[in-house]
Structure 1
């Protein structure tokens, strides 16, 4: 035995070298089999490239971040919810669309229902709010009218000077006996540590039940969950009668980050206030998220109730999406609408990193004569995404897409799309691969020309605060920046 040990010591460097190369080759071979399984070719190639160049680094990263699937216990909950939603959907007919809407809008309604099991509802009212502080004040005012329940869900939620009145309104109603339930994303909230802790203390002090969504607790749900699977929705529902949803988080417009304050950054948002039957559908979506985090199944009769206000004229449909769904619901809807457009597409997205199918849909629309406008920010708050989206500008401009850069120091964080004069999609979903694959999102499809008038006013205000990007200007940007953009585009494919 001593002779064998001595031999190992004498040849240790050689043995370690052989072991290193054996592991290196084994990881490469395993990656060739495992990585391409049920994955987009672009994503598979990006992962394989990372693993082939640095196997001992790339493969562990793939195990950590390579799967967008929820862990087993969460998948089981999702299956329960999906089954209940489809049973409910079978007994609820869609509302009738106006006679003047194009035939393709009905097919979009059927697609949404097949994907998310939410019906099209009629007789809704909807108003837009683009003022950051004004929307928080309006939500707080609505909360103070609550008599029965207040349901709150935000990706980022914290207690600071901007949100003090809203949180105070929640506390007031809870003290008055109203049932208040609050959800906030674990990573989104905890990344603003001081505001997050202050919020939790305030909610606890008033007996408000609250939970972090998608908590980062490895293996607790029966399997490892990659940490960047997030709940990105933003909703407030009061008594099942008033609903708010859109792009805005419940935090100050500079997100309480010293770097943002130094740069003078602040966020521009678009929120929609809803009344009518659609509010119950929004409340039902909240109830599914509440079930995931609390294991409490809220009684349907307390969540879905006949609306006392059916004086509105808008047809609305909730479109949920996220890693719990088999299909990429938001991507499927966007692409269907882009290919259906005959006159005009206006897309607003702070993070625009499309997959191949969406890029093809937009370019095809522009080349067949559809007027396509894309609103993005002149500056970015996320280095990788900002530079990745810039890599798409050349091909879009060459195809005839008009790109508007919202002027610094504001980050245009709104997320909405209008098609012709027929339909609007507004909500929390960006047009990037993360929103399609990794984040739970909530979108709202609104049909009809009346609501489009309000949307055109918002688009006009954005256009007035933006400058148009010209192709010749873009071609003259420094080669180093071009290289950074293209490198970030490659990295963004690793999902």
Structure 2
């Protein structure tokens, strides 16, 4: 067997050493320690693959041009935020909550507003049909923005509502995530239907290198929202698609998604509309100056609401900071519903500290997983959570509990698109809504009770019987979850 020349071996050794030293210098900069360590392990143990992956997906930020747009949007909202302080806020807010609200406005530019109505819709088809009826009532415009948007039997009423509204001459603007839809069933039929109805539609975060539109391929716009005339809005966890997502593997396994949407009216709709307008500008360079976000209609309730946008366009993880602040403010009860609960050290500490303070903490997750890596990464935290005193409820298969909510004591709730995992904190554009009001929290509590009745409780004794192979898979997935 012919040996490599000595100079080739020396050169390879020098390159290998240079790559490792460079990785130590470059990778940890402005990155979470866990993420930095995961990337360094990848580079050191699988150097060629690790370097290639880092070059491909190692930058968790949007391209510089898009970040500049986000800065312009934030500045505009900040300059007009005095006009967005609508409604009368409820009296006697806890001091810790006032500071959370101030932090949210500092990070995401949007203030809190009062005199809002908000009501939950927990039935999957009912929420699709309710949004369809709201669209049919449109007089000025319809703004649709969903991570996944598919024309199918379940969403036909939604699409017919857009068609009827567009036929009346009402502008229908639609945003849908490129990567989440491009390779899904019914994509071509969906965009063909949007074209036929005359909707003004665009792809969110498109991966189109030939058109000069390129960013880290797994940065996604995960938001789900609908705004009609600036008067009525919807947001939450549900996509516009069948509860099986029309995927053969889901249909074969009998999987159906369980979601939660909230209908809002009042001044908060203008803040929600500001999110759509900012995403529209980011994708089209078009400023919809004719859309008024400074003259609200008062809502049907007196809830205090604040929209909190987050994602790689911001300097920090706005949603994570919101969750942390609320967890530390809780005095009696914390209820977390998250299909993908993969906490970083700060979030895990906040949850365990709440247990140490005597706060009742319950976590609702799915018994069945639809994404193997995230599912196993989540499982790797069960022992620590159970030992800390968290009660874990596993929503029974074949349903995937996809709701994302957080309730604190009996006064504060958060509903939106954000999971509690590394992806939602650092890689996805998300939108969450903070709500203060006992009556709204009572609605969320009622849904939590439904989930609890359809779940089984995981105990520490049961968990400790897990086979070794499951533990190994869980721990490996936990390492990869930090690759940001």
**What TM-score, normalized to structure 1?**
0.95
Distance (whole Å) between structure 2 residues aligned to residue 198 and residue 19 of structure 1: 54
The corresponding residue for 2:281 is: 291
Tell me how far 1:60 sits from its aligned partner: 1.4
Q: Tell me, yes or no, if structure 1 residue 232 matches structure 2 residue 219.
A: no
The corresponding residue for 2:325 is: 336
Q: Tell me, yes or no, if structure 1 residue 208 matches structure 2 residue 199.
A: yes
Distance (whole Å) between structure 2 residues aligned to residue 250 and residue 311 of structure 1: 26
Tell me how far 1:313 sits from its aligned partner: 1.2
CA contact (8 A) 1:95 1:120 kept: no
- Within 5 Å, which residues of 2 pair with 1:246-265? 246-265=236-255
Tell me how far 1:92 sits from its aligned partner: 4.3
Tell me how far 1:27 sits from its aligned partner: 1.1
Distance (whole Å) between structure 2 residues aligned to residue 470 and residue 11 of structure 1: 59
Tell me how far 1:95 sits from its aligned partner: 5.1
Give SS of 1:228's match. Answer: coil
Tell me how far 1:217 sits from its aligned partner: 2.8
CA contact (8 A) 1:429 1:443 kept: yes
Distance (whole Å) between structure 2 residues aligned to residue 264 and residue 12 of structure 1: 56
Tell me how far 1:141 sits from its aligned partner: 1.0
Give SS of 1:227's match. Answer: coil
CA contact (8 A) 1:246 1:272 kept: yes
Q: Tell me, yes or no, if structure 1 residue 175 matches structure 2 residue 167.
A: yes
The corresponding residue for 1:4 is: none
The corresponding residue for 1:6 is: none
Give unpaired runs (5+ residues) of structure 2: none
Tell me how far 1:410 sits from its aligned partner: 0.2
Report the CA distance shift for 1:333/1:473 in structure 2 as closer, same or farther (over 3 A).
Answer: same
The corresponding residue for 1:477 is: 466
The corresponding residue for 1:242 is: 232
Tell me how far 1:220 sits from its aligned partner: 5.7
Distance (whole Å) between structure 2 residues aligned to residue 92 and residue 148 of structure 1: 21
The corresponding residue for 2:336 is: 347
Give SS of 1:380's match. Answer: coil
CA contact (8 A) 1:390 1:485 kept: yes
Distance (whole Å) between structure 2 residues aligned to residue 220 and residue 67 of structure 1: 21
Q: For structure 1, which segment, 68-77 or 378-387, has the greater mean C-alpha deviation from structure 2 after superposition?
A: 68-77
Q: Tell me, yes or no, if structure 1 residue 424 matches structure 2 residue 413.
A: yes
Distance (whole Å) between structure 1 residues aligned to residue 250 and residue 93 of structure 2: 44
Q: Tell me, yes or no, if structure 1 residue 109 matches structure 2 residue 109.
A: no
Give SS of 1:298's match. Answer: coil
Distance (whole Å) between structure 2 residues aligned to residue 268 and residue 351 of structure 1: 14
Distance (whole Å) between structure 2 residues aligned to residue 72 and residue 100 of structure 1: 42
Distance (whole Å) between structure 2 residues aligned to residue 309 and residue 51 of structure 1: 55
Tell me how far 1:252 sits from its aligned partner: 0.6
The corresponding residue for 2:31 is: 39
Give unpaired runs (5+ residues) of structure 1: 1-9
Give SS of 1:113's match. Answer: helix
Distance (whole Å) between structure 2 residues aligned to residue 262 and residue 305 of structure 1: 49
The corresponding residue for 1:7 is: none
Give SS of 1:151's match. Answer: strand
Tell me how far 1:19 sits from its aligned partner: 3.7
Distance (whole Å) between structure 2 residues aligned to residue 13 and residue 94 of structure 1: 75
The corresponding residue for 2:449 is: 460
Distance (whole Å) between structure 1 residues aligned to residue 445 and residue 93 of structure 2: 18
Distance (whole Å) between structure 2 residues aligned to residue 143 and residue 430 of structure 1: 27
Report the RMSD for the aligned CA atoms in angstroms. 1.6
**What TM-score, normalized to structure 2?**
0.97
Distance (whole Å) between structure 2 residues aligned to residue 372 and residue 385 of structure 1: 22
The corresponding residue for 2:429 is: 440
Tell me how far 1:157 sits from its aligned partner: 0.8
CA contact (8 A) 2:116 2:302 kept: yes
Distance (whole Å) between structure 2 residues aligned to residue 485 and residue 303 of structure 1: 49
Q: For structure 1, which segment, 115-124 or 101-110, has the greater mean C-alpha deviation from structure 2 after superposition?
A: 101-110
The corresponding residue for 1:72 is: 64
Distance (whole Å) between structure 2 residues aligned to residue 126 and residue 244 of structure 1: 9
